[in-house]
Homo-oligomer: A and B are copies of this chain.
Amino acid sequence: MKIAIYGYGNIGRGVECAARQNPDMTLTGVYTRRDPAQVQTKTGVTVYPASEILKHKDEIDVLLICGGSATDLPELTPMLARDFNVVDSFDTHARIPEHFASVDAAARAGGHTALISGGWDPGLFSLARLYSNAILPQGSDYTFWGRGVSQGHSDAIRRIPGVLDARQYTVPIPEALEAVRSGASPVLTTRQKHRRECYVVAAQGADKAEIEKAIKTMPNYFDEYDTTVTFITMEEMKRDHSELPHGGFVIRSGPSGLEGEHRHTIEFRLTLDSNPEFTALTLVALARAVGKHAARGDWGCKTVFDLAPAELSPLSGEELRAHLL
């Protein structure tokens, strides 16, 4: 299967690496809206101007669109789904129905298959929610994120005057996790589920007390959480906080038996050293499934909910039944 990357940021670079772990995939190019001469890939794969992508249709079975959900993907995915089978990682949960509708219309019009929201949340976490809801119809759902870097919260801190750089870690609270795992179906407030750890480099002469107050009282981002703020040097930031780890937990618990006398807990957990590289590995596996749907003429927009698990694997049905079932 020939795949290509549209947009060469953290996830694009992750797809470039992920393709090398999948021998049935060939990465045929990176397409960028920047000047290709300025883009240095990790593996030497050719960089083309995005404007010329239609000339390369024959070299692309599935195109992985690696852009931001705020402004890039709502525009790019419908545009490209008309001419290519595509995969994206659109992650603005509230706007998924709208994105689905526009991508679906474009893919059907062009006779292509698209998959949206194919990362880990939405994506693998959504699968955990769906399977566990189908099996425990009367249960309660919990999602915990972290320990991991939230880019949105880090950006919010960077916008405070006097802040040179910042990194925010979302941290699940162990007591809340244990209460959920016990099957007790606790009611938990925002503050009880997660805390927020902030590492901040302040400008020389900046009022650190003011910065700390500005962070801790910031509406929506921090005011409903227990937040710690630690001031560090730029050197410490580079040395200790240059990675993008993340992960989390999806847990559902619910009863069985005539009177609900037994309880069950289903837990799905991810511990990721690199959020963008893991997202990229997921997108590549989903691209394999999209290629299979496209090959049999099953056009339109899909989500992880619509793909049979076997379609994500390079193995045959016989191999899967013999070795993984």
Q: Which of A66-74, A217-225, A300-308 touches B?
A: A300-308
Distance A129 CA – B124 CA, assembled complex (angstroms): 13
A274: B residues at CB distance < 8 A: 256-257, 262, 264
**Is A187 an interface residue, CB under 8 A from the partner?**
no
Distance A157 CA – B273 CA, assembled complex (angstroms): 45
Distance (whole angstroms) from the CB of A122 to the closest CB of chain B: 5
**Is A205 an interface residue, CB under 8 A from the partner?**
no
Tell which of A129, A138, A281 has the most Cβ of chain B within 10 Å: A281
**Set B43, B256, B305: member contacting A310, Cβ < 8 A:** B305
A320: B residues at CB distance < 8 A: 130, 303, 305
Contact yes or no, B133 A313, CB < 8 A? yes
Which residue of B is nearest A271, CB measured? B265
Contact yes or no, B271 A269, CB < 8 A? no
From 159 to 208 in chain A, residues with beta carbon under 8 angstroms from any chain B beta carbon are 181, 183
**Is A288 an interface residue, CB under 8 A from the partner?**
yes
Distance (whole angstroms) from the CB of A23 to the closest CB of chain B: 8
Distance A263 CA – B288 CA, assembled complex (angstroms): 22
Q: Mark contacts of A237-272 with chain B using CB atoms, 8 A cut-off: 1 yes-contact digit, 0 otherwise.
A: 000000100000000000011100011111111111
User: What range describes how many residues of A lie at the interface?
Assistant: 35 or more
From 106 to 159 in chain A, residues with beta carbon under 8 angstroms from any chain B beta carbon are 117, 122, 124, 126-131, 133-138
A277: B residues at CB distance < 8 A: 256-257, 262, 264
Distance (whole angstroms) from the CB of A118 to the closest CB of chain B: 10
Distance A265 CA – B257 CA, assembled complex (angstroms): 33
A313: B residues at CB distance < 8 A: 130, 133-134, 305
Distance A321 CA – B97 CA, assembled complex (angstroms): 7
From 44 to 60 in chain A, residues with beta carbon under 8 angstroms from any chain B beta carbon are none
Contact yes or no, A325 B303, CB < 8 A? yes
Distance A268 CA – B308 CA, assembled complex (angstroms): 19
**Is A322 an interface residue, CB under 8 A from the partner?**
yes
- Given contacts A267-B269, A272-B264, A325 and B126 within 8 Å (CB-CB): yes
Which residue of B is nearest A122, CB measured? B325
Contact yes or no, B21 A138, CB < 8 A? yes
**Is A65 an interface residue, CB under 8 A from the partner?**
no
